[in-house]
Amino acid sequence: MTSFAELGLSQPTLEALADVGYHEPSPIQEQAIPHLLQGLDVIGQAQTGSGKTAAFGLPLIDYVDPTEHEVQALVLTPTRELCIQVTQALRSYGVRKGVDVVAVFGGAPIRSQQAQLRAGGHVVVGTVGRVKDLISRHSLMLHSCRFVVLDEADEMLDLGFLEDVERIMALTPSSRQTALFSATMPPEIRRLADQYLYNPVVVQVKAATLTVDTVAQFGLQVASKDKVAALLEVLSAERPRQAIVFCRTKIRCEQLYRTLRDNGMNVKALHGDMTQGARDGVMIGFKEGRTPILVATDVAARGLDISAVSHVINFDMPNSPDIYVHRIGRTGRVGRSGRAITFYEARQQRDVEAIEAHSGVRLTPWSKDAQGDAEPARPRPKRHSKPHDAERDGGEPQLRKLIIAGGRAEGVEPRDVVRALTAPTQLDGEAVRNVVVLEHYAFAEIPAQDADHVLQAASGVELHGRPLRLELVRA
């Protein structure tokens, strides 16, 4: 196994790594870091959990010269959750060297982000829409930005941000170094790479399989009405250090959260009906270890990396084997082991078999006497963490819900909804939240202040060959 020092990282970065407690590089880091340090463009096919953030983040920090007061590096992310996570990681890697990392994302007041950019900022981590916005307001200049990372490029594609990504790339110097990370490589992403990367080195890890190998996986057959009691039993027997409990819908998530809370547990919920500010608060609290149990929906927890998670509990079966792998990939991260317990009803036996076939692992029947190596619960030290910008700013926009005629049966995908609502309007892609596509309808939320304008401008534009029909859902 190669050491971080052998990969060629500088002394302050190596010291920062000792601070954050990384002892040896993960496979994606081992492969990507030397190329990036040599100044080559890199395509990294890797998922959350592989250590991809450090794979680009450490060379990025090494690249930055803190005595130069210009934006030297830009990381574009598809979501604000990922933006916050990447920022936290880069700050920890760059603290010894004095690198200033500014996060810019939608849904928080733009003025405080403008002020932070004015005050300096060697590295900007931003969501696509907000970066574009800050560029158009001349608050963000990219002429000295010679290190660009596109993180989770396939997610950007799914959310309909690709054109904006290209516009932003076009504003950076052509001599820049570019790294593109993506879990999958659809043709649009290959095309993007062909156009914007120069002779890239491709590095790849199969994070999902690697991750799954380090997770002990259990199944528990339980009737729907007994699920809550079973969960309480599992939690008391397993005594997880930190657990995510997955529910299928926002409503079930909220109900389960209340039930656990009423049972005296220290628990938080994370789902799309909460405001972004509240979601950020929950996410940060969980990541810092202040919340031992998080009840979440798949969408809300997407891309969330929580390395200390010891347990994933599938209170509701995932809708597909892929989602299963994605959920349990949140535990058993780099060098740690985790446990995943999946509840299923008798009628869901076939879904369990599909999961087993996909992951190549048989689920061991869970019983409360077979805990063996589960980690005992430990009280965690209280931390007085600084509130995050989004919490401090608090300026969460009021949202209105739209219903759109057309759904899966008509071939509508979430990105079509985002496009239909943004292309003919002044609306930013990120302002469109909580897109849900059902069989014949879709829902999306937009800032209340934009509702009238969007209704007018988007009505009748083409969505899958038919004029778009949309209405506000009464609150």
* Residue environment code for 275-314, b if the CB has 16+ CB neighbours within 10 A, otherwise e: bbbbbbbbbbbbbeebbbbbbbbbebbbbbbbbebbbbbb
Helix (H, G, I), strand (E, B) or coil at 41: coil
- Which residue type, as a one-letter code, is found at position 371? Q
Nearest approach in angstroms of CB 266 to ligand AMP is 22
Nearest approach in angstroms of CB 153 to ligand AMP is 15
**Dist. CA 60–CA 97, nearest whole Å:** 12
- Sheet containing 123-127: which strands, arranged edge to edge? 101-104, 123-127, 73-77, 147-150, 177-182, 42-45, 201-204
Q: Which is nearer to ligand AMP, 235 or 334 (CB)?
A: 334
Nearest approach in angstroms of CB 304 to ligand AMP is 9
Nearest approach in angstroms of CB 306 to ligand AMP is 7
Helix (H, G, I), strand (E, B) or coil at 77: strand
DSSP 8-state symbol, 362: P
Nearest approach in angstroms of CB 56 to ligand AMP is 9
3-state helix, strand, coil in the chain (%, to 5): 40, 20, 40
Report phi then psi at 220, rounded to 5. Answer: -135, 115
Q: Which helix (H) or strand (E) holds 44?
A: strand 42-45
Q: Which is nearer to ligand AMP, 333 or 339 (CB)?
A: 333
Tokens 């909460």 map to which residue?
A: 274
Strand ranges inside 361-469, DSSP E: 364-365, 399-405, 433-437, 441-447, 462-463, 466-467
Q: Which is nearer to ligand AMP, 48 or 113 (CB)?
A: 48
Q: Which two tokens stand for residue 407?
A: 């759904």
Nearest approach in angstroms of CB 58 to ligand AMP is 9
Nearest approach in angstroms of CB 49 to ligand AMP is 5
Helix (H, G, I), strand (E, B) or coil at 242: coil
Q: Which is nearer to ligand AMP, 204 or 307 (CB)?
A: 307
Nearest approach in angstroms of CB 275 to ligand AMP is 25
Nearest approach in angstroms of CB 89 to ligand AMP is 6
Tokens 């057959």 map to which residue?
A: 221
Q: Which is nearer to ligand AMP, 303 or 429 (CB)?
A: 303
Burial class of residue 169 (count of CB atoms within 10 Å of its CB; 0-12, 13-18, 19+): buried
The distance between the two most distant Cα atoms of the chain, rounded to a whole number of Å, is 63
Q: Which is nearer to ligand AMP, 287 or 419 (CB)?
A: 287
Concatenated DSSP letters of 127-152: EHHHHHHHHHTTS---TT--EEEE-S
Closest CA to 307 of 55, 39, 22, 5: 22
Q: Which is nearer to ligand AMP, 22 or 218 (CB)?
A: 22
Is the Cβ–Cβ distance between 472 and 455 less than 8 Å? yes
Nearest approach in angstroms of CB 8 to ligand AMP is 15
Q: Which is nearer to ligand AMP, 50 or 434 (CB)?
A: 50
463 Cα distance to chain centroid: 28
Q: Which two tokens stand for residue 309?
A: 């998670």
Q: Which is nearer to ligand AMP, 51 or 160 (CB)?
A: 51
Q: Which is nearer to ligand AMP, 113 or 291 (CB)?
A: 291
Q: Which residues bind ligand AMP (CB under 6 A)?
A: 22, 25-26, 29, 48-54, 305, 307, 333-335
Q: Which is nearer to ligand AMP, 50 or 116 (CB)?
A: 50
Nearest approach in angstroms of CB 156 to ligand AMP is 16
Nearest approach in angstroms of CB 77 to ligand AMP is 12
Q: Which is nearer to ligand AMP, 2 or 456 (CB)?
A: 2
